[in-house]
Structure 1
Amino acid sequence: MLSTIQAQSLKDPEIAELFSKEDPEKRFTNLRKVGQGGFGAVFFARDVHTNNVVAIKRMPYSGKKAMERWQGIIKEVRLLRTLKHPNIVEYKGCYLREHRAWLVMQYCSGSVSDLLEFHKMPLQEMEIAAIIHGALQGLAYLHSRAMIHRDIKAGNILLTPRGRVKLADFGFASMASSAKSFVGTPHWMSPEIILGRNEEQYDSKVDVWSLGITCIEIAEREPPLFAMNAMRALYLITRNNPPTLQSNEWSSPFRNFVESCLQKNPKDRPTSKKLLKHPFLLRERPTTVVTDLLQRAKEEKKRVLDNLRNRKTKKVLSQEAHQGPAAEAQEES
C-alpha cells in the first residue's frame, strides 16, 4: 500500500521534482539525534559534498495514516521551496529512504525553548526583544506572502551560532485564503482557532496571538495555563480575559506589546508589519545581544554537565569503596 502511494505520486513530474534522487545515507554522515517530536526525529549531520553541518528532520510516512503523512510532507516541501528570508530557517532539500522523508535544513544552535532549559537566570528584556523582533520579521515576511505559520512558540524559534533568529517547522503552515482547520499547539492557540464555528476562516492574526503567548513563555518560562491539561486550557483561553505578564518588573513597552498581541478580537490585534514599529522592539540594544546570551547558556550547560559527571564519578568511587572489602572476602572464601 505504502509503496503504491509513493510510486503513484512520483509519477507526477511536479511531485517528483520535489525530492532528490540521491541516497541520503551516502550524502550525509555523522548523524546524531538531537531532538524528537510528533513528526519524527531531528539529527545533526554533515553533508559530504560541501562538508557543511546540517539538520535533518526524518519523517516517517508509514502505518495507518500513510497517505495523510505523505501529503503533509509534499505540502511542507512545496512551501519551504518558496521561502527565502534571513529570519526563516534555510531549506536545503528533501530525500526519500525506506518510507522516511529526510528534510534537510540549515543547522542552528537550538531553539529558544532549549535555551530556556539551560539558561537558569531570567532573560533580560532586551534579549527577549531581540528574539521576538527576529521572529516577527520572519512572520511579517510569511504574512506578506499570504501565509500563516499556525505554530509559533519558543520551540519553533531557532538561533544560529551567529545570533540570527530563525522561524522553523512549517508542518502546520497554510495559505491565509484557505485557513480553517483546528491546528496548532493548544496552549499557544488563538481563541478564533479554538472556537472555529462552522469552519469559519481566520487570518494571519492567529500568529500574532501566538507570538504574544510566546513572549510570556520566554519571560516566565512557560505559557499561561501550562499546568492544566490541553482541553481545560483550550476552554479557558476562550472564556478568560487575555493573559498578561505576571511580574510588575517588566517595562511598560513590553507589557503593552504583549497586551497588543493578546486582544481576543482579532480585529483589535495589530498586523505583524505594524508590530515591527512597536517601541518595545525599537529600543537600542547591542548587536551581540543574542550571541552573548548563547555563550552564557553554553557555559551554563557545560557547568551542569560537568557537575553531573562529577556526581556520577563520586557515586561510582563510593560504590567501589563499599564493595571492596566484601568483594575481597568473597574472593578469599
Structure 2
Amino acid sequence: MLKCDISMIHPMKDPERIFSDLREIGHGSFGAVYYARNVVTKEIVAIKKMSYNGKQAGEKWQDIIKEVKFLRQVKHENTIDYKGCFLKEHTAWMVMEYCLGSASDIIEVHKKPLKEDEIGEICHQCLKGLDYLHSFGKIHRDVKAGNILLTENGTVKLADFGSASIVCPANSFVGTPYWMAPEVILAMDEGQYEGNADIWSLGITCIELAERKPPLFNMNAMSALYHIAQNDPPTLAGGDWSDEFRQFVDSCLSKSPCDRPSANILIKGPFIDKTRPPNVILDLILRTKDAVRELDNLQYKRMKKILMVDVIDVENGPNGRSDVTEDDSSQDGDNVDSSKSSSIASQQSSHSISMSSKSSSQNSIHSATNDDLGFSSFSRERSDWSNPRSSIAEHAHTNKVYLSMVCFSMSTICTFI
C-alpha cells in the first residue's frame, strides 16, 4: 500500500468494534452491502464490504482507493455522504449514509409512474447535486433512477460514484446503455465529453420516472447504443404532462451537447422553479412505506429495506442495542461520527458498462469478471442483456458489468445489429 493510500482509510481501527447489528441488504460480485449501527453514536449507516485479495488484488485495491478518493472530495446535501473506510482481513468496509431506497424502487413498489410534482422535485435536487459536481470538474456518468436515493427526511441523493470521472473532459465509454448520452457512446471515435452528458442521462431518467422504463428498453443493449448515437432523441410519450415538463425533457435531450442547458440554468427554468407542495417527497415516502407493508411475501422481502429502520427500531426497543462498552469509543473513525442520517442502497439497476480507450487512474479498463459496483449497485443474479423483452422488474437484481475491450467504435456496435 502506498502511504497516500493509507491516509484515506482507518487501517488500524477494527470496524467490528465500531459497528453492530449488521444485516445484509444486498450483494454482488464486489461483495455485500449491510445495514449497520455505530455503537457509539447510534447512527444508522450502510456498509459496503469489498474484498481485495485473490486474483487481481492490486486492481481491486486501486478501484477501492479511486472510489474513496472521489467520495472524500464530494460533500453536498444532494450527494451520498461518505463516512469512512476501514480494513479488516483484506476486506475494505466503506461506510456510507443510509438511505431508504431508490427512485427506481419506488416505481417498482407502486407499479406506476411518479406524479409530475414528484419528478420535478427529484430533478430539482438532482440538478443541485450535478451543478455541484460539474462546478468542480467532476462527471457522474451513471445518472438513472436506480442511482437516485431518498432519505427518511425527504432528501434526494445522487449515489454510486463507481463510474464517476474526477477529470473533465473525459473520454471513457462508461455508464448504463439506455441512459448514455450520444457523445459518450461516440467518445472513443470522436473525442471527449463533459458534464452535460449527465444532463442527457437526467432527461432519460425523467422518461423512466414518467413511463416506468427508459426509451429503447425493449431492445438489447448494443442495439440501443446504436440507436441513441444515430437517431433523433426520444421524447415523452402520451400522458397528462405539462408543456413545461415536456420542454424540460426536450432540452435535456438535445442531441448536440452544446445545445443542452447546464444544471445551473435548468434549476432556474420554469419546470424546476415552479411551486410544488412542500412535502412532496416525504408524502411519497410515506405512501411507499404503506405500499410495501401490503406487498406479498416475496415482494416484501425484496423491498423490506425501505422499512428496515422501522423494523429494527421495533426489534431493539426504545433504547436500541449496543454490543460494546464506552471504552471502545476510541476505535471510532474520524468520519463516522455524523449526526443521524438515513440511507441505503438500491437493488434496482440495469447493467452499467465501462470501456476505456486507455488505462489510467481515471479511466481504467475493467475485466468482465471483476465487476466494480458502486455503493448503490449490487446484484443477486445477472440477467441476460440479449433478451429484448427484459423488463425493469427482470433487471431488479442485476447490475454493473464492466466489459473489457481494447477497441470499441460505432462500426463494432453495428456488427451487433
Q: Is the pair's TM-score, using the shorter chain for normalization, greater than 0.5?
A: yes
Q: Write the letter of the residue equivalent to 1:247.
A: G
Query: Which one has a bigger Cα radius of gyration?
Result: 1
Cα 1:121–1:231 shift into 2, 3 Å: closer
2:162 and 2:203 map into 1 onto residues whose CA distance is 21
The answer to whether the 8 A contact 1:116-1:218 is kept is yes
Q: Deviations over 1:8-48 (max 9, x none)?
A: x2xx3221111112112222111112233564322111111
1:115 to 90, 97, 106: 106
The answer to whether the 8 A contact 1:213-1:262 is kept is yes
2:45 and 2:258 map into 1 onto residues whose CA distance is 40
Which residue number in structure 1 is paired with residue 278 of structure 2? 287
TM-score scaled by structure 2? 0.69
C-alpha deviation, 1:114, in angstroms: 1.1
1:202 corresponds to 2:193: yes
1:178 and 1:102 map into 2 onto residues whose CA distance is 31
Structure 1: where are the runs of 5+ without partners?
Answer: 1-8, 310-333
C-alpha deviation, 1:307, in angstroms: 9.9
Q: How many residues align?
A: 299
1:218 corresponds to 2:209: yes
C-alpha deviation, 1:59, in angstroms: 2.2
Cα 1:76–1:195 shift into 2, 3 Å: same
1:151 corresponds to 2:150: no
1:23 corresponds to 2:50: no
2:267 and 2:28 map into 1 onto residues whose CA distance is 31
C-alpha deviation, 1:55, in angstroms: 0.8
Q: Deviations over 1:31-88 (max 9, x none)?
A: 1122335643221111112111001112233444332222111111111112111111
Which residue number in structure 1 is paired with residue 235 of structure 2? 244
Which residue number in structure 2 is paired with residue 104 of structure 1? 95
Q: Secondary structure at the match of 2:173?
A: coil
Higher helix share: 1
C-alpha deviation, 1:198, in angstroms: 4.3
Which residue number in structure 1 is paired with residue 167 of structure 2? 176
1:95 to 86, 98, 101: 86
The answer to whether the 8 A contact 2:127-2:263 is kept is yes
Which residue number in structure 2 is paired with residue 232 of structure 1? 223
2:29 and 2:281 map into 1 onto residues whose CA distance is 29
Structure 2: where are the runs of 5+ without partners?
Answer: 301-417
1:13 corresponds to 2:3: yes
2:189 and 2:267 map into 1 onto residues whose CA distance is 33
C-alpha deviation, 1:199, in angstroms: 6.8
Q: Write the letter of the residue equivalent to 2:232.
A: N
Q: Write the letter of the residue equivalent to 2:81.
A: E
C-alpha root-mean-square deviation of aligned residues, in Å?
A: 1.8
TM-score scaled by structure 1? 0.85
Q: Write the letter of the residue equivalent to 2:9.
A: F
1:143 and 1:177 map into 2 onto residues whose CA distance is 9
1:67 corresponds to 2:58: yes
Q: Secondary structure at the match of 1:29?
A: strand
1:193 and 1:14 map into 2 onto residues whose CA distance is 32
Cα 1:44–1:179 shift into 2, 3 Å: same
Cα 1:271–1:23 shift into 2, 3 Å: same
Q: Write the letter of the residue equivalent to 1:30.
A: D
The answer to whether the 8 A contact 1:176-1:203 is kept is no
1:174 and 1:221 map into 2 onto residues whose CA distance is 28
1:298 corresponds to 2:283: no
Answer with 21-30 or 258-267: which moved more. 21-30
Cα 1:25–1:223 shift into 2, 3 Å: same
1:171 and 1:38 map into 2 onto residues whose CA distance is 14
Q: Secondary structure at the match of 1:218?
A: helix
Which residue number in structure 2 is paired with residue 83 of structure 1? 74
The answer to whether the 8 A contact 2:100-2:152 is kept is yes
